[in-house]
Amino acid sequence: MTSIPDSPLDPPGVGEPRPPRIRYDLPAQPLALASARLAAANATLADALGGELIVVRPSGAPSRVIVHNLELLAWLGLDWAEASLDGLAADAAIVGLAKRIAAQPGEHDAIRRIGEDRALGITHTVLPLDCHDIAALTERVAATLGWHPTVYLMLGMAESPSDDTPTSLGWYSERGYLPQALRAYLAASACWPTPPTDVDAAKMLACYRRAELSHAVWSPSGEQIRKVGRHAMREADAEYIGQRLRARFQRFYGRWHRASDTSHRPEEWFSLLARALQQEAVTLDEATELARFAFVDRVGTMTSEATDALRGPRARAVLAGCLEDMDPGKLATPDSAKLFFQQLRHRFRDTMGLRGRHVMFPIRAALTGTLVGPCLGIVASLLGYERCYSRLREALNGLQNGAGDKA
């Protein structure tokens, strides 16, 4: 991020052609998804044209809001130069032209914007459709004054989501969404009202180069963002995810591994957990919460689904059978633990006619307090024999002292 001089564009035929400069106006309010979408669109246009993104600071906005918004743009991975309208001299030609041709008050504002872009050297910018008056006047102004016109690309308006999808970009940053996922989703929404989960970057850049942006009304979709987030987590570099999870584990649990009393070395234990979480979680926050089972001494709370699983058909028999057959060697590795649980499942199928979930769900509930997360073989291997035995025994004791299995 660097400062740029407020220099005008060269008149036609004078000097060397300048690289594209693409303008984005930073809002004076905390960044919402709609504003972030416009930022991502302009940044992607700059990438497509091989140009530079110019971020214009708002006048009179609280400095803390500006700083936070710039931090969020950096979090998204945008790179830019900064410009300000403070002290920008009014172009006499623009003032005169406004008096001659602007019939409506709104046209004065449009012509002023065209003059600002001229003074800042802006060659292209993406604007929402409600700014169509700027695009409509720019060629007329350029033709009248002999300028190279700024190219304005119109983008469909954004509307509030119909569900409870959060619209603050900061909300997604705080919860550990991968920024590359959000940026790709927002930039792609300028091409397709419902962006694909796996965005084809080359196809998207071509869309921007051809100025084929969507004019449809766009509404952010929480479900789509989660799909994009999950895909990005699964496709991300394992080392990148591991570095971020290690720091989060240290902050939330006071340690980055708990390999003691297992057959794994610390780095192996951590890598096993991080890779498993990468396949299961949508965000880094979610991955950190899903890792709780591996760091706590005992299962303190259970989800309602886990509680129901422990009260399900023959849950006591399942837990007792698991305790009876289990030994340290069977839980030493994810593969050996997976084989153990597979054999246990077959045993209860053949002897009691139980379905797989009636066997696996009570065990998972007892070990983790939830029915989501890494596969049971990985869970048991990460916990080790002693912690698995303790949790299964505690859950079984609770059932024996409680109301018992459901009929």
Give domain limits for the chain.
2-155, 169-235, 238-295, 304-401
Cα of 241 vs its chain's centroid, Å: 13
Average pLDDT of the segment spanning 306-332? 95
H helices of 124-209, in order, are: 132-145, 169-174, 179-188, 201-209
- Residue 183 or 94, more confident: 183
- DSSP classification of residue 51: -
pLDDT-derived band at 381 (thresholds 50, 70, 90) equals very high
Average pLDDT taken over every residue of the chain: 89
d(C-alpha 374, C-alpha 18), whole Å: 53
Contact call for residues 198 and 229 (beta carbons, < 8 A): no
Query: By mean pLDDT, which of 48-52, 85-89, 261-265, 374-378 is the weakest?
Result: 85-89
CATH number of 2-155: 3.40.50.620
pLDDT at 377 over 90: yes
Query: By mean pLDDT, which of 37-41, 135-139, 150-154, 196-200 is the weakest?
Result: 135-139
Indicate the length of the chain as a whole number.
407
Residues whose CB is less than 8 angstroms from the CB of residue 113 and which lie 6 or more positions away in sequence, other chains included: 134
- Residue 145 or 40, more confident: 40
Residues whose CB is less than 8 angstroms from the CB of residue 366 and which lie 6 or more positions away in sequence, other chains included: 299, 310, 319, 391, 392, 394, 395, 396
- CATH fold, domain 169-235, is Glutamyl-tRNA Synthetase; domain 2 (1.10.1160)
Say what the pTM is: 0.86
The residue among 288, 298, 293, 295 whose CA lies nearest residue 255 is 295
pLDDT at 53 over 80: yes
Average pLDDT of the segment spanning 180-205? 94
Contact call for residues 323 and 390 (beta carbons, < 8 A): no
Give the count of alpha carbons within 13 A of 400, CB side only.
Answer: 10
Supply 47's token pair.
């990438």
The predicted pLDDT at position 7 comes to 35
**Residue 157, Cβ density class (10 Å: 0-12 exposed, 13-18 middle, ≥19 buried):** middle
Work out the percent of the chain whose per-residue pLDDT is above 70: 90
- Within this chain, domains 2-155 and 304-401 share the same CATH topology: no
The predicted pLDDT at position 95 comes to 64
How is the beta sheet containing 2-3 ordered, strand by strand? Answer: 2-3, 81-84, 52-57, 21-25, 124-128, 151-155
Architecture field, domain 304-401: Orthogonal Bundle (1.10)
The predicted pLDDT at position 312 comes to 86
The predicted pLDDT at position 99 comes to 61
**Residue 44, Cβ density class (10 Å: 0-12 exposed, 13-18 middle, ≥19 buried):** buried
- Residue 284 or 102, more confident: 284
- Residue 112 or 7, more confident: 112
